[in-house]
Amino acid sequence: MKNTQDDRGTISVSLVEETLALARAGGLDTRALTDAAGIAAPMLASPKSRVSAAQYGALWVAIAGALDDEFFGQDSHAMKRGSFVAMTHSALGARDGAQALARAVGFMRLVLDDLGASVETAPQHVRLRFVEREGAVPPAMFAYATYFILVYGLLCWLVGRRIPLLEARFRCAAPPAPHEYRLMFCDEMAFGQSESYVDLAPVFLDLPVIQTPESARRFLRAAPGNFIVKYRNPGSLAARVRKTLRALPMAAWPAADRLAAQLHLAEATMRRHLKQEGHTYQSIKDDLRRDTAIGELQDTTRSIADIAATVGFAEPSAFHRAFRKWTGMRPTDYRTARRQQR
């Protein structure tokens, strides 16, 4: 069983709250925004809760539209609605990845006053170095991430692949959910640094831009929700473990020693590397089950017992306990909250 929700992943409610804080600062009614995105109040009340990429994407678009600012008021100059569309069409005419990145960064320089970036190319990396206007309010991590998502997500789409990220350094303090940002960027990430930059592997520089005006129309209908999690960091051992498990029915997930052998690692080595990345084999399995369950619960034609069996629980009661541990909510409450949004 291969679940599309599982492939897309989910997003922590802590990241949703960071987004909503910007909406509140802009004077918006956040309840109306979350209702429209299908994010129920009980989900926001649970610190462990997760939302789907589609829900977060809908919230992102709604806030940008209501503020008429696709940068959510994080710059003294608003990034007016339609700016991302214009940036996409500007970069679409680039011949290769290098020119596409230059056009995207150049476009952002035109629409923002306080936060920009320069591109520095070296044999080992391409550095996107953030430049902050002197005297401006120091950016929070969410501002860097918003800039990054818009430029990097567009660039990956233009060349048709995820561009590996090597290292990320930021001047700001660590955000409330640093793990979510490591998923977005890379494991080699640090806060409270003397400068802010992201290093990309240079493999994309000569790749041709493969998208067309026709594919751009489809892309822009779903942007940015279609790439908020699509280009997450796949280079870690945890990502390799997730990829291996996704290819198998949950009932056939191997024990740790057998999985390590499949990955050509000693079991102790696999466990040690996963611990260094902030995971255990069990936590990865739990996360995959959680994300799959969240996706399946949105199909109200399926019974809780059926979903429990799908995600590997012989007894619905065990599934109820696990889901509450994962999200802070019972599956029935989660489904009820989702239904009330419709």
Q: What's the pLDDT tens digit per position in 42-89?
A: 778 777 778 877 788 889 989 999 999 999 999 999 999 999 999 999
- Find out whether 59 and 44 touch, Cβ atoms under 8 Å: no
Adjacent-strand bridge partners of 119: 128
Distance of CA 3 to the CA centre of its chain: 18
pLDDT at 9: 66
Beta-strand pair 165-169/197-200: antiparallel
Q: What's the pLDDT tens digit per position in 162-193?
A: 888 999 999 999 998 888 888 788 888 999 99
Rounded (10°) angle between helices 83-92 and 141-159: 40
Confidence class of residue 332 from pLDDT cuts 50, 70 and 90?
A: confident
**Window from 82-96, 230-244, 255-269 with minimum mean pLDDT:** 230-244
Q: Which residue has the higher pLDDT, 297 or 114?
A: 114
Q: What's the pLDDT tens digit per position in 191-210?
A: 999 999 999 999 999 999 99
What DSSP state is assigned to residue 96? B
Q: Which long-range contacts (CB under 8 A, 24 or more apart) does 241-245 make?
A: 241/270, 241/274, 241/279, 241/281, 241/284, 242/284, 242/287, 242/288, 245/284, 245/285, 245/288
Left if phi > 0, otherwise alpha if psi is -120 to 50, otherwise beta: which for 219? Answer: alpha
Please give the sequence-ordered ranges of beta strands (E in DSSP) within the chain, or none if there are none: 10-12, 50-52, 115-121, 126-132, 165-169, 189-190, 197-200
Residue 214: CB atoms within 10 A of its CB come to: 8
- Find out whether 198 and 163 touch, Cβ atoms under 8 Å: no
Highest mean pLDDT among 15-19, 99-103, 242-246: 99-103
**SS3 (DSSP) at 155:** helix
- Hey, CA dihedral for 197, 183, 328, 53, is it positive or negative? positive
Beta-strand pair 189-190/165-169: parallel
- Find out whether 222 and 229 touch, Cβ atoms under 8 Å: no
Tell me the HSE value of 118 on the side-chain side, using a 13 A CA sphere.
7
pLDDT at 5: 37
Q: What's the pLDDT tens digit per position in 264-311?
A: 999 999 998 888 666 789 988 988 888 888 888 878 888 999 999 888
% pLDDT > 70, the chain: 91
Question: What kind of architecture, by CATH, is found in domain 237-340?
Answer: Orthogonal Bundle (1.10)
8 pLDDT higher than 90? no
- Where do the structural domains in the chain lie, given as residue ranges? 79-233, 237-340
pLDDT at 220: 86
CA distance readout (Å), 32 to 10, 12, 36, 293, 315: 22, 20, 6, 26, 37
Rounded (10°) angle between helices 30-37 and 53-67: 140
pLDDT at 232: 58
CA-derived radius of gyration, the chain = 21
103/179 Cα distance (integer angstroms)? 30
Global confidence as pTM:
0.73
pLDDT at 133: 94
